[in-house]
């Protein structure tokens, strides 16, 4: 059964060393939950996360890295998009304080699909000759095992995250979550042991009883817990409801170029929100 709770209890479900799958900035990223998680990191309640961006990271990943919450990062790229390089990510890699598992977009999608299907690995074409393959000791190049003349292929082990995290405009009271055309959110949730979702609002209806909403819905069986977080994707946008706050993101890109500037950003925009002082 999906439970309905608040942002802090949702964040409390995330433990040290867990593998988190995070929605990308353009696809309903749960920024309010990320801020709650950073408040827990500051309280010393969570550390050494293994973050998987699906497939690329942005502001949320950069903030978690800057806060020191991430030990290992698997990503196809991390960037603030039009606002430029992700400054805390770039610094952490150049300083050697972040363990990187560099990947490529379709490899992340494919490894999650393997987990969705319950198979231990899946093949992907391309990739051969990329230095990504050279440095990924968990990827394996084999000759077409069916002998059909396909040449060498890369086998990718299934990725099974402990938790999938994303935001959505709406859930229904039964725990079904609307994802619209953002199907990577379904893949993430299917592949993960649990899914923690924030929503703008919970509606008193059943999305699965209406064909028009059913097709864009992630069923409650995949959803562990839901919390309401209004403007929960801010400063990123949410389809049809609010636009990305470009000025804010550009200001972050500038301010977070130094560790001190990033600390000031956290004080002003993360640690100022109600905290989880006596949380477990």
Partner 1 sequence: MSEVPYKPEELLINTFAGLLDGVGHVAVGALSPIPGCAALLAQELAKQKGRDVQVSIIHGDANNPFTDGGRELFDCAGQGRIGAFFLGGAQIDGEANINLLGVGEYPDLKKRFPGSFGSAYVYFVIPKVILFAPEHSARVLVEKVDFISAPGTSPPNVHRPGGPKALVTGKCCMTFDAAAKRFTLVSVHPGVTVEEVRDNTGFDFDLINDVGTTLEPDGERLALLRGAIGPKIAKTYPDFAARVFGQG
Residues that bind partner 1 (CB under 8 A): 24, 26-27, 54-56, 75-79, 81-82, 85-86, 89-90, 93-94, 96, 100, 102-107, 109-110, 113, 124-132, 135, 150-153, 181-187, 239, 246
- How far the first Cα of the chain sits from its last, in Å, is 22
Q: Is 33 left (phi over 0), alpha (psi -120 to 50) or beta?
A: alpha
Q: Is the peptide bond before 71 cis (omega within 30 degrees of 0)?
A: no
- DSSP string for 7-30: HHHHHHT--TT-EEEE--TTS---
> d(Cα 180, Cα 205) in Å, to the nearest integer?
17
Taking the complex as a whole, the smallest distance from the CB of residue 264 to partner 1 amounts, in Å, to: 23
Taking the complex as a whole, the smallest distance from the CB of residue 1 to partner 1 amounts, in Å, to: 26
Taking the complex as a whole, the smallest distance from the CB of residue 63 to partner 1 amounts, in Å, to: 16
Taking the complex as a whole, the smallest distance from the CB of residue 152 to partner 1 amounts, in Å, to: 6
Q: Which is nearer to partner 1, 185 or 229 (CB)?
A: 185
What torsion, rounded to 10 degrees, do the Cα atoms 216, 222, 184, 142 define?
-140
Q: Which is nearer to partner 1, 104 or 198 (CB)?
A: 104
Q: Which is nearer to partner 1, 43 or 119 (CB)?
A: 119
Q: Which is nearer to partner 1, 144 or 260 (CB)?
A: 144
- DSSP string for 217-241: EE-GGG--EEEE-TTTTTTS-BTTT
Phi and psi, residue 119, nearest 5°: -100, 155
Taking the complex as a whole, the smallest distance from the CB of residue 43 to partner 1 amounts, in Å, to: 30
Q: Which is nearer to partner 1, 46 or 92 (CB)?
A: 92
């Amino acid at each position: 059964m999906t439970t309905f709770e608040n942002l802090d209890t949702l964040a409390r479900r995330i433990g040290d060393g867990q593998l988190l799958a995070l929605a990308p900035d353009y696809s309903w990223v749960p920024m309010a939950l990320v801020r709650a998680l950073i408040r827990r990191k500051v309280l010393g309640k969570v550390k050494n996360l293994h973050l998987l961006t699906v497939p690329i990271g942005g502001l949320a990943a950069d903030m978690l890295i800057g806060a020191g919450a991430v030990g290992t990062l698997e990503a196809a790229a991390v960037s603030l998009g039009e606002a430029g390089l992700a400054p805390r990510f770039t610094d952490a890699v150049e300083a050697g304080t972040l363990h990187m598992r560099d990947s490529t977009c379709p490899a992340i999608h494919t490894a999650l699909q393997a987990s969705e299907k319950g198979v231990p690995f899946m093949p992907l074409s391309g990739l051969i000759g990329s230095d990504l393959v050279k440095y990924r000791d968990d990827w394996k190049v084999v000759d077409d095992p069916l002998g059909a003349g396909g040449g060498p292929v890369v086998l990718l082990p299934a990725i099974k995250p402990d938790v999938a995290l994303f935001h959505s405009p709406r859930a229904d009271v039964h725990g079904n979550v609307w994802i619209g055309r953002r199907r990577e959110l379904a893949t993430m949730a299917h592949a993960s042991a649990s899914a923690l979702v924030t929503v703008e609002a919970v509606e008193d209806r059943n999305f699965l009883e209406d064909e028009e909403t059913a097709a864009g819905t992630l069923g409650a069986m995949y959803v562990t817990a839901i919390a309401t977080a209004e403007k929960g994707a801010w400063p990123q946008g949410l389809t049809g409801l609010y636009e990305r706050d470009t000025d804010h993101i550009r200001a972050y890109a500038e301010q977070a170029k130094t560790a001190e500037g990033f600390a000031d950003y956290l004080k002003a925009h993360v640690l100022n929100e109600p905290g989880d002082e006596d949380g477990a």
